[in-house]
Amino acid sequence: MNRTNIFAAVATLALAGAAYGHGDVTPQPVNTDALPEVGEEWLIENPYRAEAAGEDVWMKAVEIGASGYNQNCARCHGLGVVSGGLAPDLRYLEAAEYGDEWYVERFRHGMTQNGTTKMPAFGELLGQKAAWAIRTYIETRPDDGELDDHADRLAAIRDELMSGTVADPASLASELQGIADQVETGSGAPVADSVAFEAARTINDDPASWKAAGDILTVGLSAAH
Ligand code: HEC
């Protein structure tokens, strides 16, 4: 177990303790109004991938899915979808119809064994749009250690962003994008939503955005060390 996993395991256990301490686990509603309708019938393939729905819908799905995941799944499946061992690591479910079918089966019906609910059913409570938004978030998680080779440079960029004087924000953003382009997902999805990717799209000409991007990198770097 590397340090990232230990961090995730500790965080997951803390969350699990908090959740179970209150008895029943109440699913938290996910606001999916910003996503296109997908009909009543349950699909077997993610409709929010960029290839199918375009980049804007895909990006929205990642954002909405992140919040849906954190509120409903992280306590068992781990923060950032890095499993601490309580439940399977979902990052490696193949981002294709095969993985989607399995995903949506579990999402809808959960898993009960010998009368014990190991995973609650979410289908009726959260609905299909939330299911696929969460799926989109899960499949864009970076694989383990993908930013390790860039840690020093990312720390230097972070320091520059936090200093409040950034000579050329656009070129920092494009350097971060270049790093982000090298990051791979565990699921085989083409784009990983790494902290480099997130920071790159946060930076604009407003100094407040530099601080926000610096904070994103700080969180990512602390998880990796
Ligand atoms: C109370 C803990 C718990 C919560 C909350 C939970 N899960 Fe699970 N999940 C599990 C366990 C345990 C398993 C393994 C079940 C088994 O033995 O097959 C599992 C399995 C899965 C699987 C199948 C993984 C595989 O590799 O076979 C998927 C997909 C999944 N969960 C998605 C989710 C999603 C999405 C959410 C949030 C909406 C969620 N789970 C919330 C405990 C949980």
Substitution candidate for ligand 1 out of 67, 75, 76 with most atoms within 8 A of CB:
76
| CA 36 to ligand 1 center in whole angstroms | 26
| CA 86 to ligand 1 center in whole angstroms | 9
Q: Is the CB of 73 under 6 A from ligand 1?
A: yes
* More confident: 19 or 125: 125
pLDDT value, residue 12? 47
In the predicted structure, residue 6 carries a pLDDT above the cut 50: no
Substitution candidate for ligand 1 out of 119, 128, 139, 187 with most atoms within 8 A of CB:
119
* More confident: 91 or 19: 91
Residue 23 falls in which region: left (phi positive, over 0), alpha (psi -120 to 50) or beta: left
Q: Is 74 exposed, middle or buried (0-12, 13-18, 19+ CB in 10 A)?
A: buried
pLDDT value, residue 217? 97
The pLDDT tens digits of the residues spanning 86-106 come to 999 999 999 999 999 999 999
In the predicted structure, residue 220 carries a pLDDT above the cut 80: yes
pLDDT value, residue 205? 96
The pLDDT tens digits of the residues spanning 170-210 come to 999 999 999 999 999 999 999 999 999 999 999 999 999 99
Query: Which residues are CB-contacts of 119 (< 8 A; sequence separation ≥ 6)?
Result: 76, 87, 106, 110, 111
Taking the CA of residue 117 as reference, the ligand 1 atom at the shortest distance is 1
The pLDDT tens digits of the residues spanning 114-171 come to 999 999 999 999 999 999 999 999 999 999 999 999 999 999 999 999 999 999 999 9
Is 100 in contact with 106 (CB distance < 8 Å)?
no
| CA 110 to ligand 1 center in whole angstroms | 7
In Å, how far from its chain's centre is CA 208? 24
The pLDDT tens digits of the residues spanning 50-83 come to 999 999 999 999 999 999 999 999 999 999 999 9
In the predicted structure, residue 109 carries a pLDDT above the cut 80: yes
Q: Is the CB of 103 under 6 A from ligand 1?
A: yes
